[in-house]
Structure 1
Amino acid sequence: MAIDHIDLARIDLNLLTALDALLSERSVTRAAARIGIGQSAMSSALARLRRLFDDELLTRAPEGMRPTPRGLTLAEPVRAVLRQIQFLVRHEDDFDPRRVERSFTISLPDSTEMLLGPRLLAYLRAEAPGIRLLLRSVDRDRSLEELDTDRVDLAVGFSFEGQSHHKRRLLYRDSYVCLFEAGLVGLTPPISLDDYLRFPHVLTSLRETAHGVVDDALAKIGRTRTLAVTTPRFLVVPFLVRSAPVIATMHARLATTFADALGLTVSPVPVALDDVAVAMLWHASYDNDPAHRWLRRVLVRLAGETAEAEPLMVMHGAG
């Protein structure tokens, strides 16, 4: 469709910025603060947006403001338009990681943060010192919403799947092993299934439910295990294992790191478990953002997925 320049010139395109902030924050006060204008100016912008779209767009609700169905349908296309405008005016073909000033918020489990965080920080300080990271715990139930509202730039998790407007990239695959204190349980690897089930277990669950992949695998062969403790934090597991005669079933990379550091023992798991995929998700509107794309490439490389074997400096291919 041809652009009607006369009709488009009648519209204040700054209103789209206000609409994006309002739909993200769902609060006039927070939306005003987000784009640096006064609350009265944002209220005026909302009134103009309602006339422009002939819809309330947001209505009052106990928790703040709630988008109308029309408001919800506008959120994605408005965000995409604003991203494209931003790309046009930034001259980002000249992107240089050594000169960029940018903050990225990444949500991820503490296990991935422990494995990748130190290497990522060291690399960024050496090659992109203007990039700052805000790392926060991943919440699987809210991750997609946080990506959609721009509260998170990247979400990292296990077997992550998004919607049509999210992009996904594998970081790494991992297997499972058992972790235990050999002196406390009196076992040496490889341990048998009977020995595995003779001791109570430590379960790590980000959903804080007392059921995991091991329980599903055991159910298939008509067996069960006893749980001693369930925790959402991977980093506490080796200290629990070191303190009592219990067994933990963990991702192999992390368990091996713990075993080497704390003198614990790892063993193959005596029940069949599928490998786990650790992936990152991002909003499709950031797909061609050079800084975002560069950071994704760095994460893939540091995670060990080096199939493309590309240099870690300025990388312009899709990430």
Structure 2
Amino acid sequence: MNDLSRIDWNLLPALDALLTEKSVSRAARRTGVTQPAMSNALKRLRRHFRDELMVRSGNAYQLTPVGERLAPLTSELVRSTVDITSSVASFDPRSSSRRFTIAATEAMQTTLVPAVLTATASAAPGTSVTLVAPFVEPFRTFDDVLAGTDGWLAPSEMLPGRNHTGQWWDEWVCVVSDDHPTVGDHLTLDDVDRLAWVVPTIRGTPIDHVGVFAAHGLDPHVAVYTEGFVSVPFLVGGTERVGIVQGAVANRLAPAAGVRAIPCPWPTQPLRVTFWWDQRWASDPAHTWFRDLVEATMLAHRVAPAG
């Protein structure tokens, strides 16, 4: 009915109550408004539909033919609205089939994300998680990453002023082969200068630690640039090269790659990761639940210093 599709939706509860109760006073009690307010709503509804909707018959009201046709339609619309409101006002992880999308580098997917997946599967077994890489198409900007995902696991300084949840700590470490012939338990600046390096990059840009070489007057040979972090231990193992990588990655992959983690011979800033998310998720109950889960997982899986 076209007239119903164009109605002021704020009047729907009043219309449903009036057509169900066939009484202004009972409709007012049902919706929790005053009787004058319900009488005013009835006047507006009569003007909208150009019909009385209900007419007095003795001491009671009867619905007009238009009112009779509107009654079941209105009741169904109100029920649907309540169902929709209920569905977004609460979230039951045990019965949900929600899919969450996380942007994370392969380093995060190797270290922190498995713990997030375990926690999610345990608390919400019907949900699923999609992992996407943040520095490839279709993401051209940081805003694209946030707009296209439920959140991004990235350094705490990456998106100042944006919404974020939780903090996970790690550190940068150097890695050398288990059987490196000249490097023991410590790496010296002389070692840095004479050894060939494996340096990770992001979109072709070496990580900031390369600048540390120049700051110490060093100009070591970078033998390998690699896009990402997970491959670094494997490009170092079995060689005399040295690499730099996150402590959690080193701890996770060292046995398989045949490397060991040792402190870098210069002060390194702690690596702090947080879960960045877009403002549109602020009031979403499922996302709120997921943010809390990610935060708790970050707290439980902070990495002990390597080396």
Query: Over aligned residue pairs, what C-alpha RMSD do you find?
Result: 2.9
Instruction: Report the Cα distance in structure 2 between the residues aligned to 1:305 and 1:276, rounded to whole angstroms.
Output: 16
Residue from 247, 253, 257 that aligns with 2:242: 247
Q: Which residue of 2 aligns with 1:266?
A: 261
- Aligned position for 2:219: 224
Indicate which of 162, 165, 169 corresponds to 2:159: 162
Does the Cα contact within 8 Å between 1:217 and 1:273 map onto a contact in 2?
Answer: no
Deviation of the 1:236 alpha carbon = 1.4
Could you state the TM-score of these two structures normalised by the residue count of structure 1?
0.62
The Cα of 1:123 is off from its aligned counterpart by 2.4
CA contact (8 A) 1:205 1:230 kept: yes
In the alignment, the residues of structure 2 paired with residue 172 and residue 157 of structure 1 have an alpha-carbon distance, to the nearest angstrom, of: 10
Distance in 2, matches of 1:86 and 1:221, equals: 66
* CA apart distance, 1:134: 0.9
Deviation at 1:300, TM superposition (A): 1.9
**Within 2, Cα distance between the matches of 1:158 and 1:141?**
18
Contact 1:179 1:250 in 2 (8 A): yes
- Which amino acid in 2 is paired with 1:157? A
What is the correspondence of 1:6-85 to structure 2 with a 5 Å cutoff?
A: 9=8
- Give the superposition deviation at 1:291: 1.2
Give the letter for the 1:279 counterpart.
T
1:301, distance to aligned residue in structure 2 (A): 1.9
> Deviations along 1:152-201, whole A, 9 cap, x unmatched?
1111222454376x412343121111111032443111121111221111
The superposition leaves residues 85-137 of structure 1 with CA deviations (integer Å, 9 ceiling, x where unpaired) of: 99972444542211112111111111111112322222222220121111011
Partner of residue 150, structure 2: 153
Partner of residue 289 from structure 2, selected from 291, 294, 298? 294
- Native 8 Å contact 2:238 2:258 kept in 1: no
2:247, 2:7 → 1: CA distance?
A: 57
* Residue 107 (1) aligns with residue 100 (2): no
Structure 1: which amino acid aligns with 2:260?
T
| C-alpha distance in 1 between matches for 2:195 and 2:224 | 12
Task: Report how far residue 222 of structure 1 moved.
Answer: 2.1
In the superposition, the TM-score normalised over structure 2's length comes to 0.64
Counterpart CA distance in 1 for 2:222 and 2:82 is 52
Q: Say if 1:163 and 1:304 are closer, same or farther in 2 by CA, change over 3 A.
A: closer
Please give the alpha-carbon distance, in whole angstroms, between the structure 2 residues aligned to 1:253 and 1:175: 8
Contact 2:166 2:294 in 1 (8 A): no
Measure how far apart 1:245 and its partner are: 1.6
Q: Distance in 2 between matches of 1:258 and 1:87?
A: 49
* SS of the residue 2:163 aligns to: strand
2:131 maps to: 135
Q: Which runs of 5+ in 1 are unaligned?
A: 1-6, 11-84, 308-319
1:306 and 1:256 mapped to 2: Cα distance? 13
**Equivalent residue for 1:31?**
none
CA distance 1:238–1:292, shift in 2 (3 Å): same
**1:161 to 1:117, Cα distance in 2 relative to 1, 3 A:** closer
Output the CA distance in 2 between the equivalents of 1:90 and 1:208: 48
SS in 2 for 1:234: coil
* Partner Cα distance (2:292, 2:97) in 1: 18
The equivalent of 1:96 in structure 2 is: 92
2:149 alignment partner, SS class: coil
Residue 152 of structure 1 aligns to a residue in which SS?
coil
Distance 1:86 1:265 in 2: 59
Instruction: Flag the structure with larger Rg.
Output: 2
**Within 2, Cα distance between the matches of 1:277 and 1:105?**
21
> Cα distance 1:233–1:162, how it changes in 2: closer, same or farther (>3 A)?
closer
Q: For 1:212 and 1:118, locate their aligned partners in 2 and report how far apart those are by CA, in whole Å.
A: 24
Residue aligning to 2:40: none
1:116 aligns with 2:112: yes
Tell me by how many angstroms 1:212 deviates: 2.5
Instruction: Say whether the 8 Å CA contact 2:197–2:222 is kept in structure 1.
Output: yes
